[in-house]
Amino acid sequence: MKTKDDITMVAPCGLLCSDCGVHKVKDDPSLREVLIKKVNWKGVPCPGCRTIKGKSQFISDTCATYACVTEREYDFCYECPEFPCAMLNPAADRAGDLPHNIKVFNLCCIKEQGLAAWLQKAPGIKQRYFSGKMALGKGPQLV
């Protein structure tokens, strides 16, 4: 399925590249230090997953998820009959530094509520993910 929406800055796995520090650092040098610390950033801003065709500077090969989605000719993982597969399995490992645990939530939002509605919410979802406090039964809350 090829959507008519502009998905240039939304990765197939559901991450919003335009809200990623490694993208935003091109206009915001204050992000440099935290990126170096958290993801061992080498100083090159990323234009976005789809623009670089999944060849992330943090991965030695093409991103396996990107390669899988494009080979199957989907725009997003949720279009796949295997969604959500083990590549999207959440992980506590590096949970405070990387956004992998947001992917399936984002993909479900895009699927159920549409891209435009999700785009409005996406920065808030990410902010609550990294800065929110978990309130049992209610999910993350900003304090």
Q: Which residues bind other proteins (CB under 8 A)?
A: 54, 56, 58-59, 62-66, 83-96, 98, 100-102, 104-105, 108-109, 112, 125, 128-130, 132-134, 136-140
Q: How far apart are CA 60 and CA 43, in angstroms?
A: 17
Q: How distant is the alpha carbon of residue 73 from its chain centre?
A: 19
**Whole-number minimum distance, CB 110 to other proteins, in Å?**
11
In angstroms, what is the minimal distance from the CB of 17 to other proteins?
14
| Residue 104 three-state SS | helix
Query: What is the distance between the alpha carbons of residues 101 and 92, in angstroms, rounded to a whole number?
Result: 8
Nearer to other proteins, 116 or 136 (CB): 136
Query: Between residues 66 and 75, which has the closer beta carbon with respect to other proteins?
Result: 66
Distance CA 128, CA 50 (A): 25
